[in-house]
Chains A and B, each alone.
Chain A
Amino acid sequence: MKILVCIKQVPDQESRPTVNQAKTWAGYDENASYWINRYDEHAVEEALRIREMIPKTVVDIVSLGPERVKSAIKRCIEMGADRGFHLYYDHDDYLSPSIKSRLIAEFCKNQEYDLILTGVMSEDMMSGQTGPMIAARLGVPSAASVIKLEINPEKQSIQVERELDSGHRCSMELLLPALVAVQSGINRPRYPSLSNVMRAKNTEITEIRGTVSTSAYEYETVERISEVGFNRTGIRLEGTPAEKAAALWQLLHEKFLL
Chain B
Amino acid sequence: MNHSIMIMCEQSEGRILPVTYELIFCASLIADRYDSGITVVLPGNIAGADSISGADLLVINSPGLAEYTCEGWEKAALLAAEQIMPDIIIIAHTSTGYDYAPRVAALLEGGCITSVAGIEFIPDGIRYRRSGFHGKLDLLYKAGKPPLVITVLPGAFPANVQQAEPGTISYINAAIDPVFTSNLQFMIPDQSNTELEHAEVIIAAGKGIGKAENLQMIREMASCFSRSAIAGSRVACDNGWIEYNAQVGLTGKKVAPLLYVACGISGSMQHIVGMKDSKTVVSINRDPDVAIFRHSDICIVEELEKFIPEFIREAEKHTVKGKKQIPIY
Residues of chain A at the chain B interface (Cβ within 8 Å): 11, 13-14, 16-17, 19, 26, 38, 96-98, 101, 123-133, 135-137, 140-145, 159, 161-175, 178, 183-185, 217-237, 241-242, 244-246, 248-249, 251-253, 255, 257-258
Contacts and interface: CB of A to CB of B under 8 A. Distances in A.
Contacts of A185: 234, 237-238, 244
B111 A14 contact: no
A173 B179 CA distance: 11
29 contacts: A13-B266, A14-B287, A16-B289, A17-B137, A124-B133, A128-B102, A132-B106, A142-B99, A143-B181, A144-B95, A145-B95, A165-B251, A166-B191, A167-B252, A169-B189, A173-B182, A174-B181, A178-B180, A185-B238, A219-B144, A222-B139, A222-B142, A225-B140, A227-B138, A230-B294, A231-B294, A232-B281, A234-B296, A252-B282
Interface residues of B, number: 102
Interface of B: 69-71, 74, 94-96, 98-107, 109-115, 127-128, 131-145, 148, 179-189, 191, 201, 207, 224-225, 234-235, 237-238, 244-245, 250-253, 258-259, 266, 268-270, 276, 280-282, 286-287, 289-291, 293-303, 306-307, 310-311, 313-315, 318
B148 A235 contact: no
A245 B180 contact: no
A102 to B, nearest CB: 8
B40 to A, nearest CB: 20
Given A144-B98, A145-B95, A257 B310 contact: no
User: Which 8 pairs between the two chains have the least Cβ-Cβ distance?
Assistant: A220-B111, A245-B310, A141-B180, A136-B103, A218-B144, A167-B191, A129-B102, A136-B106
Contacts, number: 274
A123 B135 CA distance: 9
A210 B179 CA distance: 35
Contacts of B99: 132, 142-145, 162
A143 B138 CA distance: 29
A116 to B, nearest CB: 14
B298 A175 contact: no
Contacts of B303: 241
Nearest to B104: A136
